[in-house]
Chains A and B, each alone.
Chain A
Amino acid sequence: MTTAIVRALCVRLQNNMFTQELNAVYILWLRQIKRYYRARSRVIGSFAQPLLFLFALGYGLGPVYAQAGKGNYIDFLVPGIISMSIIFSGMFSGLAVIWDRQFGFLRETLVAPVSRLSIMLGRTLGGATIAFGQGVFIFIVSLFIGFHVQNWILVIPAFIMMFLIAILFTALGTGMASRLEDIQGFQFIMNFLLMPLFFLSGALFPLTNIPTVLMYIVAFNPLSYGVDALRALLVGTTQFGIGMDFVVVTSVAIVFMVLGAYLFSTIEA
């Protein structure tokens, strides 16, 4: 009898704790969203770069691409630019941990009575939601400049893939930021990690007939599979196969989440 009561109490306590962890995830998510839409200049800035790439490359290289007998460059380019907006925004949101450290707010979350896992999860989901939203925005804009969706049903799995890419890069950014002391490291990551990942993912140009060394880099770049999946779903061309794409992106996203959560849990301030 007593044990039953004790057990019931424990279960209730656990439920409460679980609810509290979920609430923590929610409030951290909400904070990211609020901060994002309040920073107008940041919102505009975050769209400017991918749109510039879309217009400049789309119209600039389109004729060259067509002359090479490859078809419509906009159709090729759009999945790449969607990915670009997602990875830059996701990485940026993840790295925002550095700013929170600099401005002291990180400590408020680190002394709170919730697990670091929930804190990392909330932040990552918040950043990923923003990154995903930007990807959707680029997708909509691209429809107005001549992007052809081959099958509208497949837009749904394409959106799922976009969210997975967003999670992957936000988690990567969060994990890295938990090891960086200041903002200098941020530029380094942007230039030496994110840019190469982006250029060697097949986002801007087809990665066939390239040197073997580069081919290996491409094969080890998780973004290659993300871009390939979006191309498969939206345009109907694929290099690795859609199953492979989902397996790779999902597994890497999970690995980065776990790794990021671990790194985040060891932060001392």
Chain B
Amino acid sequence: MWSTVSASPIIEVIHLSKNFGEFSAVNDISFSVPKGEIYAFLGPNGAGKSTTIKMLTTLLRPTKGGVRICDVDVLQHPSEARRLFSVMFQEPSLDDELTAYENLEFHGVLYGVPRALRHERIDELLEMVELADRRHHMVKGFSGGMKRRLEIARGLLHHPRILFLDEPTVGLDPQTRNHLWEYVHVLNKSESITVFFTTHYLDEVDQHAHLVSIIDHGVIIADGTVDSIKKETHTDTMESAYLSLTGKMIREEGGDNSNRSRIMRAFAK
């Protein structure tokens, strides 16, 4: 199953740190993701996951350290690096007042996909995510699942080498969630796109990931294959492995509204 995986790293994180004032959100982490992997990046709320993804995707400048994507230094050549990946954030980043087609068109032009190729791919991708019949509908009328699918289509338009998915399945029903993972596997196999994702649904890690890192308090506390982590912690699911590594305390985190609402949602369950 993992025969496409080659040893050369496609993402290299080298002594990466990020401080917000006194607070050290990410503290000297290093890891590398081999090409063609499906890589899970786990951690409790406020552990530094999103901060790390933002640094990997050029949205945040690290305090120290560096990131290389396909051997491109992300800090030195952000535009080049941006062409190589695609990122799906926790919250949708579509323009609600444009149609599905226009959102894709906008993305294609920004990424310099030539017109003929762009239109061809948009048609293909809309077919793939089963939104072809809604192409001229405004995105504001879409359900959460449809928006997610459209974001996947958009993220693939410029043929990225890496797909960053930050909690891609939050708020999706099981059908849509399965559907989304099916796409991800197809892309990973057929286009050998490397997938780097975060999630709080740890069964997704058991099912879909091969390699894992766990970050807590800004430091990587475990990494390796899913199996090796389960073995080390003498557990048989990622969920129990994760809990034995990170403890059972509920984490508080400051500042970010989206995170706060996530915690609220967690309490409401």
Interface residues in chain A, defined as those with a beta carbon under 8 Å from any beta carbon in chain B: 16, 20, 23-24, 26-27, 31, 34-35, 38-39, 103-115, 268-269
In the complex, which residue of chain A has the Cβ closest to the Cβ of B79? Answer: A113
Contact A105/B80 with A27-B110, A112-B110 known, Cβ cut-off 8 Å: no
Question: Are A114 and B59 touching (Cβ within 8 A)?
Answer: no
Report the minimum CB–CB distance from A78 to chain B (whole Å). Answer: 32
* Contacting residues, chain B, for A114 (C-beta < 8 A): 79, 110
The answer to whether the Cβ of B227 comes within 8 Å of any Cβ in the partner chain is no
The answer to whether the Cβ of B60 comes within 8 Å of any Cβ in the partner chain is yes
Which stretch, B90-98, B122-130, B212-220, B230-238, touches the partner chain A? B90-98
Report the minimum CB–CB distance from B31 to chain A (whole Å). Answer: 21
Task: Name the one of B82, B93, B105 contacting A113, with C-beta atoms under 8 angstroms.
Answer: B82
Task: Name the one of B54, B79, B83, B112 contacting A269, with C-beta atoms under 8 angstroms.
Answer: B54
Question: Are B98 and A31 touching (Cβ within 8 A)?
Answer: yes
In the complex, which residue of chain A has the Cβ closest to the Cβ of B158? Answer: A113
Question: DSSP class of A's interface residues: helix, strand, loop or mixed?
Answer: helix
Cross-chain pairs A/B with CB under 8 angstroms, 17 sampled: A23-B109, A26-B109, A27-B110, A34-B98, A35-B97, A39-B97, A107-B89, A108-B94, A111-B57, A111-B82, A111-B87, A112-B110, A112-B111, A113-B79, A113-B111, A115-B79, A269-B59
Report the minimum CB–CB distance from A116 to chain B (whole Å). Answer: 10
The answer to whether the Cβ of B30 comes within 8 Å of any Cβ in the partner chain is no
* Contacting residues, chain B, for A111 (C-beta < 8 A): 57-59, 82, 87
The answer to whether the Cβ of B107 comes within 8 Å of any Cβ in the partner chain is yes
Taking A34-B102, A109-B110, A113-B79 as given, write out 7 further A-B residue pairs in contact, using a Cβ cutoff of 8 Å, ordered by the A residue number. A24-B109, A26-B109, A38-B97, A107-B59, A112-B110, A112-B111, A268-B61
> Complex formed: what's the CA distance from A229 to B95 in Å?
38
Report the minimum CB–CB distance from A118 to chain B (whole Å). Answer: 9
Report the minimum CB–CB distance from A201 to chain B (whole Å). Answer: 32
Report the minimum CB–CB distance from B72 to chain A (whole Å). Answer: 11
Task: Name the one of A16, A38, A107 contacting B93, with C-beta atoms under 8 angstroms.
Answer: A107
Question: Are B95 and A105 touching (Cβ within 8 A)?
Answer: yes
The answer to whether the Cβ of B201 comes within 8 Å of any Cβ in the partner chain is no
Question: Are A104 and B98 touching (Cβ within 8 A)?
Answer: no
In the complex, which residue of chain A has the Cβ closest to the Cβ of B60? Answer: A268
Report the minimum CB–CB distance from B109 to chain A (whole Å). Answer: 4
Report the minimum CB–CB distance from A41 to chain B (whole Å). Answer: 12
Report the minimum CB–CB distance from B20 to chain A (whole Å). Answer: 11
* Contacting residues, chain B, for A26 (C-beta < 8 A): 109
B49-80: contact bitstring with A at CB < 8 Å (1 yes, 0 no)? 00000100111110000000000000000111
